[in-house]
Structure 1
Amino acid sequence: MSNIRYVQSLSPKQKPDASNLEFGKTFTDHMFLLDYTEGQGWHDPRIVPYGPLTLDPAAMVFHYGQAVFEGLKAFRTKDDRIVLFRPNKNAERLNVSNERLNIPHLDEAAFVEYVKALVSIDREWVPSAEGTSLYIRPFIMAIEPCLGVRASKRYLFAIIMSPVGAYYKEGIHPVKINVESQYVRAVRGGTGFAKTAGNYASSIKAQEEAKEEGFSQVLWLDGKEHTYVEEVGSMNMFFKIGGEVVTPELNGSILAGITRDSVLHLLKTWGVPVTERKISIREIYQASLDGKLEEAFGTGTAAVISPVGELHWQEHTMTINQGKIGELAQKIYDTITGIQNGTVPDTFGWNAVVE
């Protein structure tokens, strides 16, 4: 976009070895910044050298938590194009989060153009090795210096990027998950459907305790009845029960995952029976006892598909598909990653090309 101011980095970094990339540890040469001031709106879009931000200690984000973010990826296809996967959906969801946190609306077409502009400038950072990508983190935070519980009058929108390695370096291994029986992540009417920092802060303790017990993630139940399945950490959940795929319906406390939406599109296209509804942990346990729980997997930007080999609920352990990845989960993973890397036709028009 011609109105984006560009300050080139005079100290380009050495790019990391693609075989040794860690998620979110290395960042590209530049970042995007955009200011919001009440009465003026969003202004001064700029791409500048990546570096620290200077904020007043009284910046409202530190005290009242007005902060939202997104996560998406850029991929280098087999024919050396650079594409973004469904960035318009991230733009839409960012505004859903903005609305809930009382942060000003950001033009969605501009959001996509800002992301494209930054990726284009740092395009050499998009890795080409199998399974690698450039992770993109847009975020907004309240920066007005004021110790008063109200909406801020000033915000900063920023985009930073990090090359990331293959999520499954040695093949997909199903994970062990603990069904959380004590803590609550979100309740209907709260901020569970928004991608806001506080949701993740409140989930950390349960995740750390689960890891100490040997589990990879936590499966959250609803905050009111502690009965119905919601989501896993940063992923939505799917279960294949007796030939039908079931995923928890979006009820106001579950994040509307973009990979989740993509999976629903694929399943319907393939003619696989799929339902969005309330599903209790007891129903899943009973299906396991009856031999009908055929597959379980999480969906998200980082892993695309994360198969679940074992669910632990209270004193019960459910082993799913003998602890192996299911045929359907593998097909979904291969299809989405194939669309992203250009080896599977993009019949849905999901990829946005970065010029």
Structure 2
Amino acid sequence: MNILPHTDPTPADKRAQLMLDPGFGRVFTDHMATIRWTTADGWHDAKIEARKPFQIDPAASVLHYAQEIFEGMKAYKAGNGVTLFRPLENARRFNESAERLAMPTIPEDLFIEAIEALVRTDRDWIPEGEGSLYLRPFMISTEAFLGVRPSNEYLFCVIASPAGAYFKGGAKPVKVWVSDDYTRAAPGGTGAAKCGGNYAASLVAQAQAVKNGCDQVVFLDAAEHRWVEELGGMNVFFVFDDGSMRTPPLGTILPGITRASILTLARDAGIAIEEAPYSFDEWKADAASGRLKEVFACGTAAVVAAIGEIRFTGGTQQIGDGQDGPVTRRLRAQLTGLQRGTEADPHNWRHAIDMG
């Protein structure tokens, strides 16, 4: 990639101040990676450049027909190096989203090259300790036209943001609101794609969750409005009193990379775990009887977050003692250890970046 260093990067003292409490997605690094695609030239003009606003035409198709996809991943300081966690899976999911949105796929090696080049360029923005550098690869359609068809021009970009805790207050148990007004996705829709439209459709339900004193919204299926699907931005797991676990099956939900990792780690540990439907009525009954011991959400940003209480129209229900359970704590520790290089990596999930 062509490296075009920022002519006026953030001074070290200001950068250090910004990184004291970066929160999530509020502070950004100096550079970005960009690659363009056209029907005539394919992928071209790959470069690292100063982060700056885009200049796009008011008729750019992304503004009218929402051809847009993204990924979420992190870079971690691990010992004396820097690692990514399963980046090839992000590249593969990105291309699956692209195909669903009628967008061009990007070669997996080019996707990872862009990530690595940005991390090397902005290495000073990677936090120490429990922080990480959140990476947001995305692609938008840029052709100026108002016809309803796939664009002939696209822009792939990666931006980076030093990150602290996803939930305010860190990894404490969260409260979730079960929506009976809105659904996130339907069979045949875009639920399995990581596109902005899915998240836009979830915002009114998320606002409803906040109004009811909750951190996140839980969506039920669109067909029967009965089966638990996923949270507004995370997958969900259930842990029962016999030690078994369950998570909703794929189809209309996002195939989370953290979700897939947890399935593997649980099976490695000999835990009986199934991908099977679980109704909201079962959730309430099992929590009330004590059969359901733990519930947790998972995703790139939050990693693993215990759910201590569900709220819904007509009532509330505590999960177990309302605190982190042992399975939730163990899986969180194992995952973060894998990401940061303090746990053995039998599946070769860690990807070391050559920092040059």
* Cα distance in structure 1, aligned partners of 2:260 and 2:56: 37
- Scaled by the length of structure 2, the TM-score of the pair is 0.95
Query: How far does residue 96 in structure 1 lie from its aligned partner after superposition?
Result: 0.7
- TM-score normalized by structure 1? 0.96
Query: Partner of 2:123 in structure 1?
Result: 123
Q: Is the 8 A contact 1:38 1:153 kept in 2?
A: yes
SS of residue matched to 2:283? helix
Q: Is 1:8 the equivalent of 2:5? A: yes
Match of 2:189 in 1: 190
Cα gap change, 1:158/1:194 in structure 2, threshold over 3 Å: closer, same or farther?
same
Contact kept, 8 Å, 1:131 with 1:167, in 2: the verdict is no
Range moving further from structure 2, 133-142 or 281-290: 281-290
Match of 1:247 in 2: 247
The one-letter code of the counterpart of 1:32 is: A
AA matched with 1:182:
D
- Structure 2: distance between partners of 1:306 and 1:211: 17
Residues in 2 aligned to 1:269 and 1:286: alpha-carbon distance in whole angstroms: 29
Determine if the alignment matches structure 1 residue 94 to structure 2 residue 91.
Answer: no
| 1:268 aligned residue | 267
Residue 67 of structure 1: how far off its partner (Å): 0.2
Structure 1: how far apart are the matches of 2:149 and 2:167? 43
Give the Cα separation in 2 of the matches to 1:282 and 1:7.
56
Letter of the aligned partner of 2:61 in structure 1? M
Q: Secondary structure at the match of 2:20?
A: helix
Distance 1:131 1:228, change over 3 A: same
- Change in CA separation of 1:180 and 1:170 when aligned onto 2, cut-off 3 Å: closer
Shift of 1:89: 0.5
Match of 1:75 in 2: 76
2:303 aligns to what? 304
Query: Could you tell which deviates more after superposition, 40-49 or 87-96?
Result: 40-49
Give the residue type in structure 2 aligned to 1:342. G
Task: Quote the residue 1:160 is aligned against.
Answer: 159
Identity, % of aligned positions: 43
Per-residue deviation, residues 199-219 of structure 1 (Å, max 9, x unmatched):
000000011111011011100
**Which range moved further: 20-29 or 253-262?**
20-29
Rounded Cα–Cα distance in structure 1 between residues aligned with 2:41 and 2:167: 46
1:48 and 2:49 correspond = yes
Query: Any idea what the Cα deviations from partners look like across 1:83-134, whole Å, max 9, x if unmatched?
Result: 0111100000001100100001111121111111111111111111x21000
- Note the C-alpha offset of 1:290: 2.1
Which residue of 2 is the match for residue 109 of structure 1?
A: 109
Paired residue type of 2:8: S
The structural deviation recorded for 1:288 is 1.7
1 CA distance for matches of 2:170 and 2:32? 33
Is the contact made by 2:33 and 2:159 (CA closer than 8 Å) also made in structure 1?
yes
How many residue pairs align between the two structures?
Answer: 349
Asked if the contact 2:23/2:165 (under 8 Å) is kept, the reply is no
SS where residue 98 of structure 1 aligns?
helix
CA contact (8 A) 2:287 2:320 kept: no
Secondary structure of the corresponding residue to residue 39 of structure 1: coil
Residue 171 of structure 1 and its aligned partner are, at CA, apart by 5.3
Range that drifts further, 303-312 or 166-175? 166-175
Residue of structure 1 equivalent to 2:235:
236
CA contact (8 A) 1:19 1:165 kept: no
What residue in structure 1 maps to residue 280 of structure 2? 281
Unpaired stretches in structure 1, ≥5 consecutive residues: none
Change (3 A) 1:27 1:113: same
Corresponding residue for 1:216? 215
Give the Cα–Cα distance (whole angstroms) in 1 for the partners of residues 167 and 192 of structure 2: 28
